[in-house]
Amino acid sequence: MAGPTRTETFPAGIASVGLTTVTREIPADEPPALPPNGELKVIGKPAPRQNGRAKVTGAIRYTFDITLPGMLHAAVLRSAQPRAEVQAIDVSAAERHPGVRAVIVLAQPGGPAASLRYIGQPVAAAAATSPEAAREALGLIRVDYKPLPFVTDMDAARKPGAALVFDAASAPGASPSAFPAPATGALEGNVRGPTATRRGDPDAGFAQAEVVVEGEYSTQVQTHCCMEPHGIVADWTAEGLTVHISTQFTAGVRHELADVFGLPLSRVRVVVDGMGGGFGSKSQLGDYGRIAVRLSRQARAPVRLVLSREEEQISVGNRAGTWQHLRVGARKDGSLTAISLQSYGTAGVTVGGGVGNSAEGLYTCPNFAGEQSDVFIDAGPASAMRGPGNTQGAFAMEQAIDELAERLAIDPVVLRDRIDPSAVRREERRIGAAKIGWSRRRAPGADKGPVKRGLGMAQSLWGANVQINSACEVRVLRDGSVEVLSSVQDIGTGVTTVLAQVVAEVFGLQPAEITVRIGDTDFPSGPPSYGSRTTASITPPARTAAWRVLQRLLAQAAPALNANPEELVATGGRIQVRTDPSRSMAFREAAAHLRTDGISETAGRSDDYGGFKRVTGDAAAAREDLGGVQFAEVRVDTETGVIRVERVVAVHDCGRPINPRQLESQVQGGVLMGVSYALYENRLLDPHTGWMVNPNLEQYKLVGPRETPDIEVAFLEFYQGNSATDAYGVAEPANIATAPAIANAVYNAIGVRLRALPMTPAVVLAALGKIPQRS
Amino acid sequence: MRNPTRDGQIARGLSRRSFLSHSAVTTVGGVLTETALAVAGPARAQTSEPGLVGPDAAPIALTVNGVERTVQAEPRSTLAEVLRGPLGLTGTKVPCDRGACSACTVWLDGEPVDSCMMLAVDVGGRAVTTIEGLAKGDDLHPVQAAFIEHDALQCGFCTPGMVMSCAALLQRNPHPTADDVKGAIAGHICRCGAYPHIVEAVLAAAQTAKA
Amino acid sequence: MNRFAWTSPRTVSEAAAAASVTVADAIARPPAGAKAIVKAGGIDLLDLMKEDLLAPDTLVNLREIPGLNVVAEDAGGLRIGPMVTLAALGSHALVRQRYPALADALGQSASPQIRNVATVGGNLLQRPRCWYFRSLAHHCTRKGGDHCFALSGQNQYHAIFDHFPCAIVHPSTMATPLVALGASVELTDAAGAVRRPLLEDFFVSPSKDPHRENDLRPQEILTAVNLPALPAGTRMAHLKQGEKDSFDWPLADVAVVLRRGRDGRCTAASVVLGAAAPTPHRAKAAEAALLGKRIDETVARAAASAALDGAQPLSMNAYKLPLFEALTRRAILAAVA
């Protein structure tokens, strides 16, 4: 640790199990250890959402709602061919349209982008004085295509002789950051990889096994379906570029814009206020973002580009579909001897089809062999989506463990107590089992009638991620008002409120007294809102900056109380002498003693006090992973094949919980996305034309209110003395365990294991042998 | 199986849509050619027959949040477009534009409807209420207050429509059950998954209203 | 959406005279010249127009014609105006009392928002939800092409009966009980001439004409749906099963209407399957299996099995066989419960 340090003693352990302490060496300019939540006034309490009022009144402005004077509207001409070469393109008629101000060609004949590889790939774009004029202009563009053989099915793409999506020169290689996918290695046909991982001696491990379970699992392509479509308003002026964009990462988009358009960072500003959901798909600038900026540069006017729902569904990301072959060997006592995983996943025209590290890392097993490969097909690119990789991986791994438990005649919870090294998940299993009434669980298929009930559980594994490049400024102004500033964005997870709570706790104020101004790169550069890392990254700098400001405030106010600054504390809206509360003044009064109109401190994220497991560029992973255990109760109508999830108990950890109500909201959301993944969602492509047949929100089916189970959420308080707040994230773990928990519950209900998603009535009836075979 | 793409089966003769380039594919020497010229150009104003409105923009009178407003709009303009555009009421959101998500819900004479699937010219004398017109000044509607109290939202994009549907429910059924609430929002999609807190909030708002 | 003009006639004859083309013809065999199309609630029309499947020059608005949104008692039955909304009809006291199967179907149609706008006439005349039909990219048989993409494509939601040369299922859930109840439609032309076919006969199978789902003619307005009076003791049930219970289309729905004599034996039965065929599918073998029987679990099971006589599932929809069998049996038993 560079710079002066001091030691501090922190609470440590799981609150419901019993707390101890841990002593850490920390930077000298960071605040003292934060006590457990039970001793705090604001942190750990359900403060109402800061922008709640703006959201329930419709006042908050999303990118979708931004209009600027003289703003043009853009539209994108997209490929109608799954695979084609653009041979000629003529935009002259479009340019002559009276409303048109700029036309750009993206698939320039002869260039690399002339190879169209999926339906929806941008070909050209226009900006015009109205959305209608922009669309009319697209109709005036004449494109000559040479259609080419294509492949849109992963299994077909793996076969010899399949149409090739890429050649070696054009195929994407390593996966983008924050996307736990393998996707390195050789290209053979349409297959990139495998990426191999090996530990111990898997063959010997399987030889030692007394029981081996083995299965093939497949998962569908899921789309993000953010309610606010991807959208941008780009304003290129002589002074620089200002971009309003619905993004999960203002600071990252600013870097991309500076790189792509050759601008200094100081001339690029990225802004977002209301943000209507991202789930991983809005982490980057995207082709639509580049298109809008190019059009704005060309037209010298602000350009709005907001995608239609169909464009959303086909062109801006999805969760890769996968196939996995998983083998798990164990001794009779349950101890695992070997695991082998082979997977293929398709991220369309990009990479990212991996299945994460559930099989490799969730349980203690000395021997592991993994081979994960990407398969290219002529379909829209995947992108990260809430727990990418591990969500698919857990669907297989957690069913395999359930199957193993049955083969060994060991209760699935008990088996995990033996093979799961995580003390956090052990406690989560204990709490969850009690809440769901796990002791009620019966043998598979125990119900006599056509409607059968079952209980199942599954676990999640996810890194506790931190963005080191995260900074926050805190200001106290002379009237006692407090500002928190960072480019970090609130995509609905509630970080605005969390920041207000953390800073309010320092100043002895209420969250509502804190003004949080975020989502603007004019403020210190904050973290992305992906990889479950926002809270872990930005709350420690916020508390540190606030604490530093407070020290300065106390120093300037101390003379008025005839005290030394060290004797003063901020509590209950007042500054007072710790040992003599009668000597006090209101916080506002103290601020009036400031020599200047305001004082400000900016702090960055320091390393976890206990060190990181891994650091890659700006991204780091804490030593302890995140856990999360979910239990599901289902009802299966064996005559109609309909599965209903009746109840889910979700027990999670995120270090120190800061806002329990918002956390509950987020976990409910993760569970529901998991229910939706398990039972309903499916990107369907026509096998002959390559078109997505359900590019909407009607036939692409999302869980609705009537399919929403009763969801009970519980949180551990888990302290490790790792930062000024000791807080981590939760968004992704909340989604990972749900589908396998449901699948295990379905097995418990009907005695038949469903290894493919989604578990529709057609799948259930087929698994039950109820569909007559056709001659 | 012949490949319908290769033999020009797809989209033959269809040419009106512009944002996806699958208009009018014709086979020319083995190469598919896009031609979308004549039909996609801006339509010419027609000689209006008596009683005929449009296709050019014409004045449309609407009563929105209790105020009579007149906008110039083409008959093809939806209520959502007119609210968000000329009237500047951007609280109403349009995530799907096909009546599949209900986020664009506003009231017509107190009944929730999808404003994306209603032409502005078709509203007639019916009173339009949007999310901007629900609170009485600074006093939030009980449903709005309960949404904040119960954290019945995350990203907030579906929230205005959701609030309108829930407030309409309490208007016609002051004592709903949880199933009634789910029924009232059965056409809504909330990708953040706020349904449990929404149901809680509406039941609580009903209690508040009773007290 | 294309640009169009808007007219609001005040009488049915004016509207009929103005309505130069049906939606079906406008899509599959568009006439030369201007196309004026009738608009009731407008939900399906807007959907088609937003997908650029339909580009009328003029919409003929029925909303300003007096008297079309009335439900009236008519000789013990009901006369339902075409502009009555699904919400209004579903909550109508007489419908709930006399035709609970219809009330059930209405309550399960679409979303509350759509039910507040969509009309009885528009619901019966709406175009199919087949995703190939709804896709401009697929020039399918029903749009005037010569290829049904569903037959060899994604056909999990398609027909198990009567699916050549087009495998749509009829989109109206309300039509399932209406056919079972013996409803008829009233069609009025510009000269005031009226015909009143049974709803069952009004629908058109694809083997007869794959371009349209019904026999509506140009310059004709659907002016009423008539529900006959039901003899005392008529029992009925409607069951719908979607993948979701929230806004979703049925995978299958079944309406059963029957009567029993003093001896408890079934004297009349009507069993109709929705989402099974391009038109509401009258399961005559099931009806025959009920007639003359005392209805119990065994009889219901046999009738449900007979309901699928002649079914020919496609590659991805054979699951509909056990699903329809279960729903039909349950609907029969629910009707007599």
Closest alpha carbon within chain B to A53: B148
The predicted structure's pLDDT at residue A89: 97
Report DSSP state, residue A377.
-
Confidence of residue A772 (pLDDT cuts 50, 70, 90): confident
According to DSSP H, which parts of C19-65 are helical? Answer: 23-28, 43-50
Q: CA-CA-CA-CA torsion for A386, A388, A392, A398, nearest 10 degrees?
A: -80
- The yes-or-no verdict on residue B3 having pLDDT over 80 is no
- pLDDT tens digits for B146-205? 999 999 999 999 999 999 999 999 999 999 999 999 999 999 999 999 999 999 999 999
CA-based nearest distance C314→chain A, Å: 10
Mean pLDDT of the C95-102 span: 97
DSSP A251-313: HHHHHHHHHHHT--GGGEEEE-SB----TTTTSS-HHHHHHHHHHHHHHTS-EEEE--HHHHH
Cβ–Cβ below 8 Å for A642 and C247: no
- The yes-or-no verdict on residue A183 having pLDDT over 70 is no
Higher pLDDT residue, A169 or C61? Answer: C61
Residue C321: CB atoms within 10 A of its CB come to 21
Cβ–Cβ below 8 Å for A688 and B4: yes
Confidence of residue C109 (pLDDT cuts 50, 70, 90): very high
Rounded alpha-carbon distances, angstroms, from residue B38 to A310, B31, C134, C135: 25, 21, 23, 21
Q: What distance in Å separates the CA atoms of residue C71 and residue C88, rounded to the nearest whole number?
A: 9
Rounded alpha-carbon distances, angstroms, from residue B87 to B82, B92, C244: 6, 11, 36
The predicted structure's pLDDT at residue A178: 40
Q: Choose among C241, C318, C327: nearest Cβ to A771.
A: C318
- pLDDT tens digits for A130-152? 999 999 999 999 999 999 999 99
ipTM at complex level: 0.97
Among candidates A636, A765, A643, A630, which has minimal Cα distance to A707? A643
Mean pLDDT of the C305-318 span: 97
A400-A404-A408 Cα angle (round to 5): 175
Report the DSSP pairing between strands A84-90 and C281-282.
Answer: unpaired
- pLDDT tens digits for A506-515? 999 999 999 9
Give the residue from B37, B138, B143, B157 with the most A CB atoms within 10 Å of its CB, the best one to mutate: B157
- pLDDT tens digits for A693-750? 999 999 999 999 999 999 999 999 999 999 999 999 999 999 999 999 999 999 999 9
b/e for C27-51, b at 16 or more Cβ within 10 A? bbeeeeeebbbbbbbbbbbbbbbbb
A690-A692-A693 Cα angle (round to 5): 115
Mean pLDDT of the A557-566 span: 96
- The yes-or-no verdict on residue B26 having pLDDT over 80 is no
- The yes-or-no verdict on residue A179 having pLDDT over 90 is no
Mean pLDDT of the C318-327 span: 98
Mean pLDDT of the A436-461 span: 97
Containing A404, the helix (H) or strand (E) segment is helix A390-408
The predicted structure's pLDDT at residue B6: 34
- The yes-or-no verdict on residue C286 having pLDDT over 80 is yes
CA C234 to chain centre: 22
The predicted structure's pLDDT at residue B208: 83
Confidence of residue A175 (pLDDT cuts 50, 70, 90): low
For residues A425 and A459, is the Cβ–Cβ distance under 8 A?
A: yes
Side-chain half-sphere CA neighbours of A461 within 13 A: 23
Mean pLDDT of the A169-191 span: 73
Q: Choose among B101, B149, B163: nearest Cβ to A697.
A: B101
A236-A240-A244 Cα angle (round to 5): 60
Residues of A in contact with C152 (CB under 8 A): 687-688
Q: Choose among C138, C247, C323: nearest Cβ to A704.
A: C247
The predicted structure's pLDDT at residue A177: 44
Among candidates B33, B36, B41, B32, which has minimal Cα distance to B7? B32
Closest alpha carbon within chain C to B106: C113
Q: Give the three-state DSSP class for B54.
A: coil
Percentage above 90 pLDDT, chain C: 98
Mean pLDDT of chain A: 96
Residue A773 buriedness (CB in 10 A; 0-12 / 13-18 / 19+): exposed
Percentage above 70 pLDDT, chain A: 98
For the record, the structure tokens of A283 come out as: 């982490």
CA A360 to chain centre: 21
Confidence of residue B49 (pLDDT cuts 50, 70, 90): low
The dihedral region occupied by A572, where left means phi > 0, alpha psi between -120 and 50, and beta the remainder, is left
Q: What distance in Å separates the CA atoms of residue A631 and residue A399, rounded to the nearest whole number?
A: 13
- pLDDT tens digits for B76-134? 999 999 999 999 999 999 999 999 999 999 999 999 999 999 999 999 999 999 999 99
- pLDDT tens digits for C199-222? 999 999 999 999 999 999 999 999
Q: What distance in Å separates the CA atoms of residue A656 and residue A71, rounded to the nearest whole number?
A: 45
Mean pLDDT of the A237-252 span: 98
Residues of B in contact with A662 (CB under 8 A): 151
Q: Choose among C49, C58, C145: nearest Cβ to B9.
A: C145
- pLDDT tens digits for A3-14? 899 999 999 999
- pLDDT tens digits for A215-228? 999 999 999 999 99
The dihedral region occupied by B191, where left means phi > 0, alpha psi between -120 and 50, and beta the remainder, is alpha
Q: CA-CA-CA-CA torsion for A573, A52, A485, A273, nearest 10 degrees?
A: -170
Confidence of residue B5 (pLDDT cuts 50, 70, 90): very low
- The yes-or-no verdict on residue A277 having pLDDT over 90 is yes
Q: What distance in Å separates the CA atoms of residue A548 and residue A681, rounded to the nearest whole number?
A: 49
Question: What type of residue sits at position C269?
Answer: A
Residues of B in contact with A661 (CB under 8 A): 150-151
What pTM did the predictor assign? 0.96
- pLDDT tens digits for A617-634? 999 999 999 999 999 999
Q: Give the three-state DSSP class for A678.
A: helix
b/e for C248-278, b at 16 or more Cβ within 10 A? bbbbbbbbbbbbbeeeeebeebbbbbbbbbb
- pLDDT tens digits for C224-264? 999 999 999 999 999 999 999 999 999 999 999 999 999 99
